Structure 1
Amino acid sequence: MPKSGPASVEFRHVSMRYGNVTAVDDVSFRIHAGELVTLLGPSGCGKTTTLRMIAGLEIASDGQILIGGKDVTRLSATDRDVSMVFQSYALFPHMNVLENAAYGPTVKGLGKARAEAMALEKLALVGLKGFEKRYPAELSGGQQQRVAVARALVLEPQVLLFDEPLSNLDAKLRRRVRQEIRELQQSLKLTVAYVTHDQEEALAVSDRIIVMSNAKIAQQGSPRELYEAPANSFVADFIGDANLVEVSIEAVHDGQAQVMLGPLRLTLAARGLTPGPAKAAIRPHGIMFGDGLAGTVRKSSYLGDHVEMMVSTPIGELFVVSRQTDEIPAEGAAIKLSFVQQNIALVR
């Protein structure tokens, strides 16, 4: 566990402006000590700027940033007990694994023997014992990532930051390394702020997710909360695939809405909405073959354990994911679709 213990991170009405451009606009959130929180959103939404403000690499234009309850808003990066794992890993090519991992304590003047002992401990922790004398060019992408993590951990920071850490890895390796990061975070009870644009990655590693859009927070909550109860159509579409269709709410009673989805009448959680036009976010795996809405298969793709289809219907084109791979409807086939109501959320 870090020497001073993992610390909370808090933003209070923080903004970041570059001239006339507002990169982060009045953002407030809290990361509890020992929690992994992901900042998720499309390119340009403000998530990396937010991470850099935690690190002290950017100084906020307005608001207050606290780490462990201490105001660090105006402190430089070197005066904050924070380490960052960059997208590029930023390993020194002329240094071997041990020298890379020992760089932080060496620069702080802790002495070569002490620095190397600290580095060896963290390299063993990330599964790189025996790799000490290798150079970055001799390592796989996943191994380079682990060296970067060991180097960030070696000074036992209060907060560990990850900036798109898996973007340089192939899909299968991404799944394995994200699991390793999550297991390490949980076993050491690290406070982690993690930036990604990959919603599957965010769902897999996070205690909580902060979804950002246009420099603001669109929604924050647990992965399940964001997936099953998106606050708006942007979050519904960004966290997992969603078919956004126009519906009509006919009546609301005791929190339940009577909804017309084309010719179908459904009862859905009203989620604060009132009678009138609305949108429904329909998850692709919540659409089944069966009596219901008539449609025509426009495209069909077999992907091993499931089939993906685009189906033209009276309520628009629907993206359908089906585990029924024994009989796959051909393109142009007429089918009927039914809906699993718990996989539909009304949104603004």
Structure 2
Amino acid sequence: MSTVSSLALAGASKTSKKEAASVEFRNVTKRYGRVVAVDDVSFSIAAGELVTLLGPSGCGKTTTLRMIAGLEMASEGQILIGNRDVTHLSAADRDVSMVFQSYALFPHMSVLENVAYGPTVQGISKKEAYAMAMEKLALVGLSGLEKRAPSELSGGQQQRVAVARALVLEPQVLLFDEPLSNLDAKLRRRVREDIRELQQSLNLTVAYVTHDQEEALAVSDRIIVMSNARIAQTGTPRELYEEPADLFVADFIGDANILDGVVLDQEGSKARVRIGGITLNLPHRGASAGPVKLAVRPDAIVLNEDPSKSTAVSGVVKKASYLGTQIEYEVDSPVGNLFVVQYSRKEPIAPGTPVSIDIMEHRGVALIPGS
């Protein structure tokens, strides 16, 4: 962790006295009147695992997180934490802590008082509560800032205070609700790395909610993608990116060109697939001969402006955007309007330039099952 001393990290595993607990949802539904916010959802989070609930606004991910916390009660189904049925228990009776999007720090309290608030409310002496708070502030790299007010801290530092406050009672499960949404892009990247390293060092069970696909891919052991109050797909970041279960997941996880193709035939686990004049050999994923949809990642498409290297598909560059580490293109072609990313190129191909188009099947091309 960039802001935590090596000494703190070396002793991190010793600071968590409670065992991490698993989380399980069994056919859980949440209704608000006639509105179904979460619809018959089942999943499990292993002890010591970081699982992200990912999806667009209104998909049910935050409601699911709040049901783990006990801030919302399930209308149907069963919720277990550490194999204990907590379905009908209040938030105070569940051994969980939550880091909110707004951080919810008390402005009239110092950093130390904010972190020590939980133990103090539980009846622990002020001296012991402050000692517990100082230990967690050291763990998140905030030693020396304990006397400051929250208003005197940066956004990243405030976020660390919120994490320290959630950790101080050493919960069995730690919950994050869009914890990085108030930070700028560069700080988000640094803080998400801190959260991930802390989670692994302390062997914490974490449920993490975000709508940011890149954030989810970066921090998660597994991701649960939600859509319309249901689970669309569960898997590791690599599985979701390379083997999307349907068009929604393919389009939502990272950027993808959704293209029409035709399965020509199969041999073993592979299928010969035609896109325009390009033929690829891809895992068939249960697809039979005939029309199919494919998810083609932007960096799997190769552009070449040299006529001598023409392929069966050609196109014209419509837009080019230089972004430092990469160049992004919009290309008009017979197989569709393509979004293309090129790395390690200094000069963009000028708009209006004819290009040949090839697709590298090993870089990120997948058949969409049932399409």
TM category (shorter chain) comes to: over 0.9
- Shift of residue 324, structure 1, vs aligned partner: 4.3
CA distance in 2, matches of 1:127, 1:303: 33
d(CA) in 2 for partners of 1:328 and 1:126? 43
User: What do the CA deviations read for 1:213-261 (whole angstroms, capped 9, x no partner)?
Assistant: 1111111111111111111111111111000011111222312112110
Opposite residue 122 of structure 1, the aligned amino acid is K
- Corresponding residue of 2:54: 40
How many Å separate the matches in 2 of 1:112 and 1:208?
A: 39
**Correspondences of 1:143-222 after superposition (within 5 Å):** 143-222=157-236
The equivalent residue for 2:242 is: 228
CA distance in 2, matches of 1:324, 1:314: 27
Q: Percent of aligned positions with the same letter in both sequences?
A: 68
Q: Distance in 2 between matches of 1:102 and 1:109?
A: 11
1:46-76 deviation digits (Å, cap 9, x = unpaired): 0000000000000001111000000000000
Moved over 4 A (4+): none
1:99 aligns with 2:99: no
Report SS of the residue matched to 1:102.
helix
Q: Residue in 1 aligned with 2:6?
A: none
Q: 1:277-288 counterparts in 2 under 5 A?
A: 277-288=291-302
1:62-110 Cα shifts (integer Å, max 9, x gaps)? 1110000000000000000000000000000000000000010011110
**Count of residues paired in the alignment:** 348
Q: 1-side partners of 2:210 and 2:166: how far apart?
A: 18
TM-score by length of 1: 0.98
Aligned to 1:73: 87
- Give the 3-state SS of the residue equivalent to 1:93 in structure 2: coil
**SS at 1:115's partner residue?**
helix
Secondary structure of the 1:234 match is helix
- CA distance in 2 between counterparts of 1:68 and 1:203 reads 26
**C-alpha distance in structure 2 between counterparts of 1:194 and 1:202, whole Å:** 8
The letter of the residue matching 1:346 is L
> C-alpha deviations, 1:254-303, integer Å up to 9, x for none?
12112110122222110011112110000001111243220100000011
1:51 counterpart (58, 65, 83): 65
Give the distance between the partners of 2:231 and 2:174, measured in 1 at CA: 21
Alignment of 1:344 with 2:368, yes or no, is no
Q: Which stretch has the larger CA shift, 226-235 or 156-165?
A: 226-235
Is the 1:46–1:215 Cα contact (8 Å) retained in structure 2? yes
Of 218-227 and 254-263, the range deviating more from structure 2: 254-263
Q: 2:314 aligns with which of 294, 299, 312?
A: 294
Uncovered stretches (5+) of structure 2, i.e. residues with no partner:
1-14, 305-309
Residues 16, 62 of structure 1: 8 Å contact kept = yes
In the other structure, the counterpart of 1:309 is 329
- Aligned letter for 1:45? C
1:19 aligned to 2:33? yes
- C-alpha deviation, 1:4, in angstroms: 2.7
Q: TM-score, normalised by structure 2?
A: 0.92
String of CA shifts for 1:321-346, please: whole Å, max 9, x gaps. Answer: 00142342110100011111021100
> Shift of residue 127 of structure 1?
0.3
Distance (whole Å) between structure 2 residues aligned to residue 2 and residue 15 of structure 1 = 33
Question: What residue identity is the alignment partner of 1:196?
Answer: T
> Does the aligned pair in 2 maintain the 1:2–1:158 contact within 8 Å?
no
Instruction: Indicate conservation of the 8 Å contact 2:278/2:358, yes or no.
Output: no
Q: Cα deviations across residues 166-224 of structure 1 (Å, max 9, x unaligned)?
A: 00000000000000000100000000000000000001000110000111111111111
Q: Which residue type is aligned with residue 107 of structure 1?
A: V
Letter in 2 for 1:70: R
How far residue 42 of structure 1 moved from its aligned partner, in angstroms, is 0.4
- Any conservation in 1 of the 2:300–2:359 contact (CA below 8 Å)? yes
Query: After superposition, what is the alpha-carbon deviation per residue over 1:107-164, rounded to whole angstroms, capped at 9, x for unaligned?
Result: 1110111111110000000000000100011000000000000000000000000000
Given the alignment, which residue of 277, 283, 287 partners 1:263? 277
Q: Distance in 2 between matches of 1:226 and 1:165?
A: 22
SS at match of 1:341: coil
Determine the C-alpha separation between the residues in 1 that align with 2:71 and 2:287.
42
**Distance in 1 between the 2:215 and 2:347 partners?**
31
